[in-house]
Amino acid sequence: DGHFVSGTSTLNPTIDSAGTYSITITNNSNGCSSSDNVVVSIDTIKPIVNAGLDTLINCYNPSISLNATVNPTNVNVLWQTNNGNIVSGNTSLTPMINAAGIYIIQAVNTVNGCVSYDSLTVVVDTLSPVVNAGNDTILTCVNDSIFLTATTNLSSNYNVVWATNNGNIYTNDSLLQIGVNSGGDYLVTVTNLSNGCSSTDTVIVSEHLTALANIYATPTSGVIPLDVDFANQGDNYIVTWDFGDGSQNSTDSMVTHTYTEDGQYMVILNVRNEYGCTASDSILIDVFGTSSILIPNIFSPNSDGVNDVLKIKGENIKELSITIFNRWGEHIIELTSPNQYWDGRTYAGIEVPEGTYFYIVKAKGVDGQEYDVKGSFTLVR
């Protein structure tokens, strides 16, 4: 029931089917024979191999482990791919892969050498969403808090997270629109929940919450009529000058103002910049009239409360000294301040007698006028 291919008269015939094969050996010298039988069976059963279900790689699982099964277990396996990538374990049932492609498993029965194949397809889903954080914007004094609105190409099944290291989010940071009230860099991340892939975008919020007013004025003091040059060295979007003398305000950035009356004037500069922020600055301007001095020609230090002291009456005098002598030229006393006066006594506090006394007055006015006056006055008691 078997089948010889060749070599029936040899000790090593070739067969190609199962069956019972008999061999007879004859001794040619005496004609005696002996026979024996051998039973040949067939083992061509291939192993059963299953590569597993088709699967995918995404951002949740950028590398995955395949999971094949074989029967029987006494097999050698080998994974191969032409367009994927096997990271490790290509001779195991569970290789690690990280690329899309077709993966083929070969299973070889270690007993009979029979081979089986199976394959699976791995696809990739790593498409990131499109996200736009919006245009860079500005916080101003008019709008000191604003809303940022991001957009995405996803209509559902996504997650949003806003973050900042140097700003401040005062609303829910897990919505496309957030409220912020501080300048900074704002990062929005949108995640596609179906594949775990994310995209980010950044919007920069700048702050313009202050204005600057800075007065430059020259001169800041002088004699009437006094021309003062004013300039704003701060923001120049909207400028208002108040010169403190009741005159009409000016809106020029640079202006010259003339003071025609003496006095001290508080000049106020108010500015508003293009972001709606305001600031002010101020400076004092001292305006003096022309100087003059008046020297009395008589006084009566008799403690009656009337004309008891000798005092130089000066207008806008900043320096003054008076030296008093008696009629013999003796130095009686010296006054060195516009606020000083003489009560008719010596340095030692002794009352001087009635009579004519002589003086030398040296003075200087705020207008630069210098005085050098000599004369006399009468002291009566």
339-370 pLDDT, tens digit per residue, is: 999 999 999 999 999 999 999 999 999 888 99
3-state SS assignment for residue 84: coil
Residue 31 domain-assigned?
Answer: no
Range of the domain at 173: 131-208
- Asked whether residue 42 carries a pLDDT value surpassing 90, the answer given is no
Residue 194 domain-assigned?
Answer: yes
Q: Assess contact for 378 and 298: CB atoms under 8 A.
A: yes
Residue 82 domain-assigned?
Answer: yes
Q: Assess contact for 15 and 40: CB atoms under 8 A.
A: yes
Cβ neighbour number for residue 155 with a 10 Å cutoff: 6
Residue 4 domain-assigned?
Answer: no
Residue 343 domain-assigned?
Answer: yes
Tokens at residue 327, please? 């009629």
Strand 115-125 and strand 55-58: the pairing is parallel
219-267 pLDDT, tens digit per residue, is: 999 999 999 999 999 988 899 999 999 999 999 999 999 999 999 999 9
Are 139 and 67 found together in one domain? no
Are 176 and 251 found together in one domain? no
Residue 257 domain-assigned?
Answer: yes
Residue 335 domain-assigned?
Answer: yes
Cβ-proximal residues to 251 (8 Å cutoff; 6+ apart), any chain: 238, 239, 240, 241
Position 173 scores a pLDDT of 96
Position 176 scores a pLDDT of 98
How many angstroms separate the CA atoms of 311 and 313, rounded?
Answer: 6
Confidence of residue 93 (pLDDT cuts 50, 70, 90): very high
Position 368 scores a pLDDT of 87
- Asked whether residue 89 carries a pLDDT value surpassing 90, the answer given is yes
Strand 221-223 and strand 278-288: the pairing is parallel
Higher pLDDT, 44 or 174: 174
Confidence of residue 381 (pLDDT cuts 50, 70, 90): confident
Last residue of one domain, picked from the residues 192, 208, 224: 208
Are 172 and 239 found together in one domain? no
The pair phi, psi for residue 118, each rounded to 5°, is -150, 165
DSSP 350: P
> 353: buried, middle or exposed (CB in 10 Å: 19+, 13-18, 0-12)?
exposed
Can you give the CATH number for the domain in which 247 is found? Answer: 2.60.40.10
Position 180 scores a pLDDT of 98
Cβ neighbour number for residue 172 with a 10 Å cutoff: 11
Position 1 scores a pLDDT of 78
264-289 pLDDT, tens digit per residue, is: 999 999 999 999 999 999 999 999 99
Total domain count, the chain: 4
How many angstroms separate the CA atoms of 86 and 63, rounded?
Answer: 10
Are 138 and 154 found together in one domain? yes
How many angstroms separate the CA atoms of 217 and 254, rounded?
Answer: 10
Are 371 and 305 found together in one domain? yes
Last residue of one domain, picked from the residues 208, 230, 255: 208
Query: Which pTM value belongs to this model?
Result: 0.64
Cβ-proximal residues to 330 (8 Å cutoff; 6+ apart), any chain: none
